[in-house]
Amino acid sequence: MTINRKLHCDNPNCPHETLKKMSDWVRINLPEPEDGFMVSDLDFILQNYKTKKFILLEVKTRGVEVKPWQYNLFKNLDKWISQGVDDDWTYIGFHTLTFENSDFNDGFVYFDGVLNNESDIIKKLSF
């Protein structure tokens, strides 16, 4: 994959940018999307080992939506996990958290496309 990534920070040595080294390595060394090879990260896997519940969570900022190919990947992942989770565990599912801007303080927030507030999100993610 040879797609060049734009820096998000002015300082190329900031921690945000130095953590992107693996992404750059993937783009340079692994197969191209034209070959059917798609790569995505997943922002959070939250689990409560006492209640035996877990959730997968993708976070988007600036109102960005999940790309169609990524949505299909996550939909399949959700289906596969739902079919194979241990009987004594509860899989709460795959969900998206989308901020209109960057966080709870500078715009609206949506959970699976539905407008929520910070306390709603805390309730949904505290299990």
Domain ranges within the chain, ordered by starting residue:
1-39, 40-125
pTM: 0.75
Mean pLDDT of 103-118: 95
Instruction: Give dist(CA 44, CA 64) in Å, integer.
Output: 17
Residue 79's pLDDT is what?
95
pLDDT, residue 6, reads 59
CB 124 within 8 A of CB 89: no
Number of neighbours of residue 66 by Cβ within 10 angstroms: 16
- Average of per-residue pLDDT values in the chain: 88
Q: How far is CA 109 from CA 18, 54, 55, 126, 127, in A?
A: 28, 21, 18, 17, 20
Q: CATH for 40-125? A: 3.40.1350
